[in-house]
Chain A
């Protein structure tokens, strides 16, 4: 019988060890976990962003000793874009976390209801889903600085050169990933198509056919659209751009969302993709903040980038912007509450009351890198606008003035879908006891 009691003890000890290890992760400082995906099928797009995010946080630690003198405890938990791993990472990090950055629509959907109960703000910059802007429904969720619906509007606004009525009679193809992310802009585009009398042709690309889109491009050739708008991700972008080059689609009429604008996707085709455009909430350039990162992180060998040239890519710099938004929110909370070691609820307040002015951007060394951003209780996105970038054959260059979404048009749709979400997830807590000020 001794055998069995030993077995029982070993099992109990194992369970105990696992239980304790999660509690033992407590560390000082501002705990900012990031659910990264540096592995798996989407690693190519994930890695540069995560490098940017990480390097900005490390730079703050080196240069300023963190935020307001409190060091940042920046933790990465690898998900490989896998939703199972996402749950695991969320549960693992949430004990001490001030924020959660889920980095995938699937993980966001799983985690979002839990964040209301665990009282942790969820930060999904440039992704998540558009109705998250409605802060009265999604009190704990934030998707600054622009949502996908904003993106869709801005792209059409650019195509129409600011006059939507000029779209009348045109034909626009939406080449999208056949996945919740890719279908996101359809409701808004359909509404716009009806309002302005243009023809919208959605062409889905299945997750399994991302790299082989000959059927889709054959259809595009047959449709002869005036413009192709792309909602792509990961390997789909490079696939679409290569195929567009092959079928000689006029590149200047081909516009992608911000996740379809990675330098790596275009470098393969280089000059042949000249004229391709992507809407982006960060503009490329050599900003003072990059100098600081080079000095404090990269030159010391603490960065994970392969070469310094990676710092010039759009996605790396976008990672910096994302970390900056989080850091500024923490600072806003610190200033308001007069406490250095803020908690998750205070950080939520900081995100909700975030106001990154043009002057503040200049202080941060990011003037012109991203538009000024102001959030509010009923505006968890900020909707600060974006620029159109154009591939000149070697790199992306800014190709437009700041585009801004038409909020009067988009907001009712957001409120409607937010109400739907709350109904599907009943009883949804909404804002609850969180004061709005």
Chain B
């Protein structure tokens, strides 16, 4: 009834290939964007920005990057956090070497460093596949964290061994450092995530996306139809690591404000793999759904007892939280092994024929 697609005729190729060929999808997107850009900032407290909105966006972006590689091109990677670290450290070095540089430029430049490192560690993918490749990327994870710890030049020989973000502004508006308003930082992150997401939706629909999918589904067949495997795999590594690197730089500069090397250690890689898997591999929207489940849900669950007026010890709550989130993950994976994005697709299909299913 609400999702009726009948009567929406496509008369041109352009309208048939539009990003959102169904009107209701478009409306839904506008509602979500309006909520993100207008409604949330009207109500959000500093806590909501710092603990919910900004982390969800940054993790979604990182997971989007991983999804390009794993979900679209089928190359398993466990080194996401390491590549995020490369982006963060590159952005830190760029902004300290060229202090006048606009942070947006620095951010997009730092992506190139992580892309280069990603391609370098992606080289083994030309020879090995599947779990073996996962182990190779795992090696990059260990190596990069070790490098962040040992190469003091990276953190400017800081006594604390960590990278710290100084105050920076864009045309007079303070965007990083302790004085930046969380709302400004939120809009900044939201803007970048929107742009990258839009670009990725288009990229994955286009020639590259189709090449990656062909490689994912059967690389020998892809090679036989004339796809250059090396180019396809390495471009997936490059694009993926580029996005992941930007996510890492955003994380340190617009959310945390400081980072130690072990922030970029394996637990975060796994967390992002979980987001991508639970959200749905080979989907753009799934990353956002997955991030909401993995990143935002525990925060909201922690607030629940207080909202209900219960007094539960914080540590007990943390244990309960881990159990609840863990069982939810298992439940979602049993109900829909293809992730939340597939779950939404099923709901949407049902809605389209509702209330008269065949």
Contact = CB atoms under 8 A, between A and B. Distances in A.
B43 A12 contact: yes
B265 A207 contact: yes
B65 to A, nearest CB: 18
B113 interface: no
A80 interface: yes
B31 A8 contact: yes
A329 B317 CA distance: 30
Most chain A CB inside 10 Å of its own CB: which residue of B51, B160, B166: B160
Contact of A12 (B39, B166, B265, B306): B39
A92 B305 CA distance: 14
A110 B163 CA distance: 10
Interface of A: 1-4, 7-8, 11-12, 15-19, 21-25, 36, 38-39, 75-78, 80, 83-84, 87-88, 91-92, 95, 105-106, 109-110, 112-114, 116-117, 129, 131, 178-180, 183, 187, 206-207, 304, 417, 420-421, 424-427
Main secondary structure of the interface of A (DSSP, over half): helix
B51 A88 contact: yes
Contacts of A206: 146
Contacts of A426: 166-167
Interface string B177-219: 1110000000000000000000000000000000000000000
Interface of B: 2-3, 27-28, 31, 34-35, 39-40, 43-48, 50-52, 55, 146, 149, 156, 158-162, 164-167, 177-179, 255-260, 262-263, 265, 299-300, 302-303, 306-307, 313-315, 317-319, 322
B35 A129 contact: no
B38 to A, nearest CB: 10
A16 B300 CA distance: 12
Contact of B2 (A3, A23, A417): A3
27 contacts: A8-B39, A18-B52, A18-B303, A19-B44, A19-B47, A22-B45, A22-B303, A24-B307, A36-B315, A38-B315, A38-B318, A39-B315, A39-B322, A76-B315, A78-B314, A78-B317, A87-B255, A87-B256, A88-B51, A91-B51, A95-B47, A110-B257, A110-B258, A131-B159, A420-B159, A424-B158, A427-B167
A333 to B, nearest CB: 24
Contacts of A83: 256, 259-260, 263
B303 A207 contact: no
B60 to A, nearest CB: 15
B44 A15 contact: yes
Contact of A92 (B39, B47, B159, B258): B47
A19 B31 contact: no
Contacts of A180: 160-162, 260
Contact of A39 (B47, B260, B319): B319
A178 B260 CA distance: 11
Contacts of A187: 159
Contacts of B161: 179-180, 183
Contacts of B44: 15, 18-19
Contact of A15 (B40, B159, B167, B318): B40
Contacts of B177: 113, 425
A350 B139 CA distance: 50
Contacts of A19: 43-45, 47-48
Given A78-B318, A180-B162, A16 B43 contact: yes
A105 B50 CA distance: 20
Contacts of A25: 306
Contact of A1 (B2, B160, B313): B2
Contacts of B178: 113-114, 116-117
Contacts of B319: 39
B55 A109 contact: no
Given A21-B306, A178-B149, A91 B46 contact: yes
Contact of A424 (B40, B46, B164): B164
A87 B317 CA distance: 17
- The 5 A-B pairs at the shortest CB distance, nearest first, are namely A38-B315, A113-B178, A180-B161, A78-B314, A88-B51
B51 A92 contact: yes
B43 A15 contact: yes
